[in-house]
Amino acid sequence: MEDIIRRNRKQTEQRLISAAGEVFRTNGYAGIKLNKVARQAGVQKNLIYRYFGSVQKLFREYILKQDYWSFYHKNLDNILEENQQDSGRNLAKNVLEKQLDYFYSNSEMQQVIRWEICEKNEISRGISDARERLGEEMLGLTDPYFRGSKVNFRALLALQIAGIYYFVLHAMVNGSTFCGIDISKESDMKELHRTLKQIIDWAYEKASS
């Protein structure tokens, strides 16, 4: 009986999270209201309080499920241990390549990022701060390597990560090329992957020279 109750709760939670996403896609963050989300999910609104505490916390759960960086939160200890030997060089490459692929293929994550940079609120700020804390942990691998060099690896990564966001959003919103690069073409996407890795290699080589 307890297994059935837990399973039913899990299913209801997932319905609510999916409903929050549907409301967000249709109406934006302004549409995330208790009654609207409950109606979209087809459940009583008191279940939102019971399972999540508030509709804002429910929406935060939806955002976290879409967030690319949540994978690294869950597996941080193993990731850091596996990437110590090369001072985070391959980790940096993998993070950027996977970010590009994930962001390009996930329209919900695209909408989330657009919302985060257009509307100031506690949820988006909290998630951004969590990403920063994660970044500090991961940059702990790279900082010692670049200390004392003329390479500001943090600034380099910031530009690459932000560039990926803008490049994809520009293509999806305007449908145009950027510097002649068409991200919808497989050949151009491969070049972006190659260049992301090349920039990381240049940075590591410059710091060691």
- Over residues 34-86, the pLDDT tens digits come to 999 999 999 999 999 999 999 999 999 999 888 888 888 888 889 989 999 99
pLDDT tens-place string over residues 110-159: 999 999 888 888 888 988 898 999 999 999 999 999 999 999 999 999 99
pLDDT at 74: 82
pLDDT band at 7 (very low <50, low <70, confident <90, very high): low
d(CA 138, CA 8): 37
Given pLDDT bands bounded at 50, 70 and 90, which one contains residue 1? very low
For residues 58 and 20, give the distance between their C-alpha atoms in angstroms, rounded to a whole number: 7
- C-alpha–C-alpha distance, residues 27 and 157, integer Å: 33
Q: What is the mean pLDDT of residues 96-106?
A: 95
At 6, the pLDDT band (50, 70, 90 cuts) reads: low
Do 166 and 100 touch, CB atoms closer than 8 A?
no
Q: Is the pLDDT of residue 165 over 50?
A: yes
State the pLDDT at residue 85. 93
pLDDT of residue 170: 94
116, 28 contact by CB (below 8 A): no
